């Protein structure tokens, strides 16, 4: 009887390994990261279904091994599974891939795009921490902050070349303590980052009026300034002028 049970367990383990391997290979062939529903009709993604099976069936060791897979889509989905099963902290995975530049095609709803591994890991976790109490106004969001999200945002602030939209989100997530002030001022005044300038205006304006006014005017001289940035800068300059 014991031999039969042991044999059954071995068969189950082998079958599980083969299933995870074949699912990863199938995802790798398409090499795209999809949301659960895609397309105009909101059809269920076949790729996402495979991810859910991997998430459900793969062991921690199998998922960690898949992080070295040649397919970026497999790496991303394995990261999702590790985080959502709480087998690894999100900030650890985020740090591992933060400086890797490879991108993968994405398909979510009706939107096709291209993202890096770190961006996909960050926003997957970030979305799990955000609530929208007003269904008619998605700009009114509540962020359920966490130690992991704080660490991820800190990594973004201190990386050599932060991705613009990651930095924007990190600065919008919370008001930072004074220990981050010098870093944010560096991003604003030395690296002329629009989102850091905006953050200084909202949170550290007193004492920074002259430097901020100068930096905002210099920023407007750039040829690639977006219209929404011009509008925001002009509003900030108006407030600074009225305070003088």
pLDDT of residue 12: 44
pLDDT digits (tens, 9 = 90+) for 63-114: 999 999 999 999 999 999 999 999 999 999 999 999 888 999 999 999 999 9
Rounded Cα distance between 141 and 138, Å, is: 6
Label residue 42 left, alpha or beta by phi (over 0 means left) and psi (-120 to 50 means alpha): left
Give yes or no for residue 227 having a pLDDT over 70. Answer: yes
Spatial CA neighbour of 53 closest among 88, 92, 20: 20
Cα-based distances in Å from 199 to 89, 207, 208, 209: 28, 14, 12, 13
Residue 198: both structure tokens together: 């905006």
Three-class SS of residue 231? helix
Residues sharing a CB contact under 8 Å with residue 22, sequence separation 6 or more, in sequence order: none
For the chain, the structural domain boundaries read 2-174, 183-244
Give yes or no for residue 2 having a pLDDT over 70. Answer: no
Entry field: residues in the chain: 244
Give yes or no for residue 132 having a pLDDT over 60. Answer: yes
Angle, helix 117-128 to helix 72-84, in steps of 10 degrees:
30
| DSSP 8-class letter at 45 | P
Query: Which region among 11-25, 28-42, 52-66, 153-167 has the lowest average model confidence (pLDDT)?
Result: 11-25
Q: What percent of the chain has pLDDT over 90?
A: 80
- Torsion, Cα of 85, 90, 95, 97 (10° steps): 50
Q: Are 35 and 45 in contact (CB under 8 A)?
A: yes
Rounded mean pLDDT of 113-122?
97
Q: What percent of the chain has pLDDT over 70?
A: 92
The residue ranking higher by pLDDT, 219 or 224, is 219
pLDDT of residue 11: 38
């Amino acid at each position: 009887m014991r031999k039969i049970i042991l044999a059954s367990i071995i068969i189950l383990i082998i079958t599980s390994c083969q299933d995870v391997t074949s699912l990863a290979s199938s995802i790798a062939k398409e090499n795209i990261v999809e949301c659960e529903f895609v397309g105009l009709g909101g059809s269920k993604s076949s790729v996402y279904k495979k991810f859910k099976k991997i998430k459900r069936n793969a062991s921690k060791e199998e998922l960690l091994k898949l992080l070295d897979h040649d397919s970026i889509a497999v790496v991303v989905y394995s990261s999702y599974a590790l985080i959502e099963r709480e087998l690894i902290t999100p900030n650890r995975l985020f740090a591992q891939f933060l400086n890797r530049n490879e991108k993968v095609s994405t398909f979510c709803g009706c939107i096709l795009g291209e993202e890096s591994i770190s961006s996909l890991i960050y926003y997957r976790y970030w979305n799990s921490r955000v609530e929208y109490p007003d269904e008619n106004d998605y700009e009114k969001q509540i962020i359920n902050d966490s130690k992991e999200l704080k660490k991820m945002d800190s990594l973004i602030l201190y990386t050599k070349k932060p991705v613009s939209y990651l930095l924007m989100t990190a600065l919008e997530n919370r008001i930072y303590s004074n220990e981050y002030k010098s870093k944010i001022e560096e991003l604003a005044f030395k690296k002329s980052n629009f989102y850091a300038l905006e953050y200084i205006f909202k949170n550290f304006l007193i004492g920074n009026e002259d430097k901020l006014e100068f930096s905002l005017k210099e920023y407007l001289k750039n040829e690639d300034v977006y219209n929404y940035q011009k509008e925001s800068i002009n509003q900030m300059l108006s407030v600074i002028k009225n305070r003088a």
